[in-house]
Amino acid sequence: MPARRLDHQRLLAAVNAQAQAVGWPAGNETWSEKSTVATLGAACVSLVGAAFDQDLEPQREALRGAVIYSLDVLAGYAPGRAVEVRVPPFGAVQVIDGPRHTRGTPPNVVETDPLTWVRMATGRLDWAAAVASGAVRTSGPRADLADYLPLSSPPDH
């Protein structure tokens, strides 16, 4: 199950709005009509991280872009269908090689909110701390993303 697709125009608007909110220079030529969805998605992750660093609430569309993009990155790092990672209301992906499910509720599920997800994906929150605090709910013996987070560099697998 892939994460929801990112719309280029919607993503570009989100990047520009979040950049303005965190005080990044306006009119950054890096983000334009010619930018790829991947470039804009990565920018959303960076800009939402900048909002966290400034104790600002990220804008909803930038947060949406950051979640969907980072779920897609996770799916690339950990291909498979053994664990379902849910970040409602923005997306879900199936990751990690192993037994897959085909019907009903999957046996291995990770679920969290968008703010917690981006904090973990960017290394601002440790997996173990998030699970211990209850910010991340897991079920099943394979529902552990500690080896894959943060997403700043590919894991050694």
| Neighbour tally for 8: CB within 10 Å | 13
Considering only CA atoms, give the Rg of the chain: 16
Q: Average pLDDT for consecutive 10-residue bins of the chain (157 residues)? A: 72 93 75 87 95 97 97 95 95 89 80 98 97 97 95 53
User: With contact defined as beta carbons under 8 Å apart, do 45 and 90 qualify?
Assistant: no
Q: What pLDDT was estimated at residue 67?
A: 97
Residue 154, SS3 per DSSP: coil
**Which domains, from first to last, does the chain contain?**
8-61 (no CATH), 77-139 (3.30.1050.40)
Structure confidence by residue, pLDDT tens digits, 69-100: 999 999 999 999 899 999 999 999 999 998 76
Q: What pLDDT was estimated at residue 1?
A: 44
55's tokens? 């104790």
